[in-house]
Amino acid sequence: MLEAGTDLRYIQLFLGHASTRTTEVYTHVATNAFETIINPLDC
């Protein structure tokens, strides 16, 4: 879902997590999404 562009907050609600920290544990498998992020400090 994250790689498809779904916001992390929606994924958190879908999974029933009380904290986004819990949901963030699962983001390590979503590598495609992180490759497209542009660091504002690189601009």
Q: Which domain holds residue 20?
A: 8-37
Q: What is the pLDDT of residue 34?
A: 64
Assigned domain for 2 exists: no
Assigned domain for 15 exists: yes
Assigned domain for 1 exists: no
Assigned domain for 25 exists: yes
**1-43: per-residue pLDDT in tens?**
877 788 889 989 999 999 888 888 877 666 666 677 777 787 6
Structure tokens at 40: 């504002």
Assigned domain for 43 exists: no
Find the DSSP H helices in 1-43.
8-15, 20-24, 31-35
What is the number of residues in the chain?
Answer: 43
Assigned domain for 13 exists: yes
Assigned domain for 30 exists: yes
Q: What is the pLDDT of residue 1?
A: 80
Domain count, the chain: 1
